Amino acid sequence: MDTLNLWASRIAEEVAPDEVDLAPAMAQAFVRGGRDRRDLFRQPKESVPGAFGPELVIVLFPLILETIEKVGPALLDFFTTTKDAWAGANSFIGAINVLLTIGSRTGRKKTAETLPDDPYGPMKDVITIMSQELESSDVPPEQADAIILRVLRRMLEDPSGAAEFVEKVGKASPGKP
């Protein structure tokens, strides 16, 4: 299984389990661009991100791919920093796990703000940017934060593999609606 398909499945398992079977095909369509990519984002107005709309449109995973594409440079910097200081990767994972256990978004934000910028600055930047991107796509803030933290936790299990995935998504052909 190539990197794109492998990571699409891993990320979908973590945040969109109903979309796991289709995640590799969606990632391929996203990267191909054009009409294939536009079709991923076509949805009826009544649909809700992360749910099935009246036409059985799956919308969460393509939004995650789009977010990864938009914040690619920040993610790559984060993974490079993590890889170079691999001993600190467990600290990043631990911090993400702590943030995930906090029930309220306000509590997560306050706890994240208390993390020192060194070495957590790049992680905080990535979380903020990715959350803003998902929220701009009408994903509720609570759900956006949880999705991002779970995606990052999964990617930190193999930062070099995740970086390769981010690079492939970043090279996607245009075609966004």
- Listing DSSP states for 101-132 in one string gives H--SHHHHHHHHHHS-HHHHHHHHHHHHHHHH
pTM: 0.82
User: Residue 56's pLDDT is what?
Assistant: 43
- Gap between the Cα atoms of 174 and 35, Å rounded: 10
User: Residue 55's pLDDT is what?
Assistant: 46
User: Residue 80's pLDDT is what?
Assistant: 77
Query: Residues 175, 30: contact at Cβ < 8 Å?
Result: no
- Gap between the Cα atoms of 151 and 143, Å rounded: 12
The reply to whether omega before 17 is within 30° of 0 (cis) is no
DSSP code at position 158: S
Tens-digit pLDDT string for the chain (177 aa): 699 999 999 999 999 999 999 999 999 999 999 888 888 887 655 555 555 444 444 478 999 999 999 999 888 888 877 655 555 667 788 889 899 898 788 898 888 888 888 878 888 888 999 999 999 988 898 889 999 999 999 998 888 889 999 999 988 766 544
Query: Residues 160, 86: contact at Cβ < 8 Å?
Result: no
